[in-house]
Amino acid sequence: MAVLDDLSGFEFEDLMEDVLRNLGYDNVRQASRTADEGRDILMEEVVDGTRRAVVVECKHTGSVGRPVVQKLHSAVATFDFDGPKRGMVVTTGGFTGPAEEYAAGLSDTDDPYPITLLDGTDLRNIADEVGLDLYNGRIEILCDETLRPFDPVSGIHAPVRNALQAVENLDPATVSEPHAEVTFRPVLSILAETNAVFETSVGEIHRIDDRTDLVVHADRGHPDVADPAVNRLVSENRHVTVGLDDVTSAFDTVTEQRFGQTETEYKDWIVERLRDHHTSTVTYTGDNNVTYTKTCEPNKSDISVQSITPVYLPQIRHTVELQTYSYPYEYYAAGPSRATLEDGIHRCVQCGDGEEDTYTYCANCGSINCASHIKTERLEGTPVCTGCAVTDRFALKTKYFYDDANLQAFRDEYEAMPIHRKAQENIPLTVAGLTTTLLLLLGLFASTGVI
């Protein structure tokens, strides 16, 4: 009771909007705020296939009497809605006997506009039922469902194994199990509609009829619309979730971030973003044939947030250790689907290039390299990177070796080679030399008349 009592009237109305939306009501929104009456909540429900309007009166007070219930009954009767309607009074306190008798009488007589009464005890029970927590005087979004951080069939390390398969000269089966850490990041899947008509004396000049389905990173105090890759990842996989407790044990390190704000705060934020997005300047011609410009900005009431669905988005970071090098591989996950954030496996350690199709592993030092920084070790004929190779020139061509011992072994071998074998250590130079000699001989023969 202490937390509810600490709320202001407006905070209580914001809280109730969150509660009712989580109970599954549709199109939950608040009417205009006034200094003396606060904000009533309007929403809809579907009962036996029929859509019904519900008008909610919020009273942050110790006791609610019969006049409040009677006034709401009249408001429901005159509310403009094409279908059945009912009312609801919610309070942090309780109801007087006459108020309860009046509401019961409406029910007993099958009145077309019945009124439901919810007191402070009812509210706390409902909050527990829908999994909301009273936090700092408000209901913060709580969530225990996450998109699947990995495909249970292929396992947690499958994305790394697949990435390593594209590296030449490296068998993923020989790589030790990478360190895996996960951060469960809060996101919201939001569905909203914007409907606005702008008119002047010449008639309609602009219309907005838009349905927006977007994903928002819900970091506390810093919400941000997700980029298209993340939006697609969440939208296509949000129907398949698992409990947080079911997957955390698979990771070496686990961080769970809080949503930290109420649904209403997030809703107000997205409404402002959509107002900005849909604001445009329109040019039109008036009755006097004069050209005018008008900024068309939708009102808050033109934007209806249909649903706000919280879920956690796993941000996974693997660290692969290959000898003296560490390779990060980070991505957002939804089962087998991923949106890559950092790919340190397909990147040359020498130049940082990450644009090539082929990379090669150097077993001598553990580096992964692009084609420009990988050579063939002369003595053993396997790849070695330019970063660790020992070099020397033979037949005017640079040769690459794993270490000084291999270099010395080849020096001894080179010294014992016949001249034609030494020439083969630089085939292009040998070919060029032979071609030059041949041309000189041809020139000599031509000048002496031999040919």
Through-space distance between the first and last CA atoms of the chain, rounded to whole angstroms? 115
Question: CATH number of the domain at 2-140, out of 3.30.390.10, 3.90.1170.50, 3.90.120.10, 3.40.1350.10?
Answer: 3.40.1350.10
Please, which residues have CB within 8 angstroms of residue 131's CB and are 6 or more apart in sequence? 22, 142, 144
Burial 212-246 (b: 16+ CB within 10 A, else e): bebbbbbbeeebeebeeebbebbeebbeebbebee
The answer to whether 390 and 408 are in contact (CB under 8 A) is no
Domain ranges (residues) in the chain: 2-140, 145-320, 367-416, 418-451
50: tokens are: 């029929």
- Check if the beta carbon of residue 158 is closer than 8 Å to that of residue 167: no
Specify the long-range contacts of residues 125-134, CB closer than 8 Å, at least 24 apart.
126/19, 126/23, 127/19, 130/19, 130/22, 130/23, 131/22, 132/18, 132/19, 132/22, 134/3, 134/4
∠ Cα 83 89 92 (to 5°): 155
Q: Indicate the pTM of the whole model.
A: 0.67
Residue 398: how many other CB atoms lie within 10 Å? 13
Provide the residue-wise pLDDT of the chain in tens; the chain has 451 residues.
335 556 677 778 887 888 888 888 999 988 765 444 444 899 999 999 999 999 999 888 778 999 999 999 999 999 999 999 999 999 877 899 999 999 999 999 999 999 999 987 787 777 767 666 544 444 567 788 999 999 989 999 999 999 999 999 999 999 999 999 999 999 999 999 999 999 998 999 999 999 999 999 998 778 999 999 999 999 999 889 999 989 999 999 999 998 877 777 888 899 999 999 999 999 999 888 899 999 999 999 899 888 888 999 999 999 999 999 999 999 999 989 999 999 999 999 999 988 888 999 999 999 999 999 999 999 999 999 999 999 999 988 899 999 999 999 999 999 999 988 888 887 664 555 556 556 665 665 566 665 6
Calpha distance 231→188 (Å, rounded): 10
Residue 6 to residue 92: CA distance in whole angstroms: 10
- Within the chain, how many helices (H) and strands (E) appear? 11, 27
Q: Could you give the CA distance from residue 248 to residue 144 in angstroms, rounded to a whole number?
A: 12
**Amino acid letter, 94:** G
CA atoms within 13 A on the CB side of 211: 2
Judge contact between 39 and 31, C-beta under 8 A.
yes
What are 399's strand-pairing partners? Answer: 392
Bridge partner list, 340: 331
Show the DSSP H helices in 184-316 as ranges.
Answer: 228-237, 263-278
Closest CA to 95 of 129, 70, 132: 70
With the C-alpha atoms ordered 92, 98, 104, 106, is the resulting torsion angle positive or negative? Answer: negative
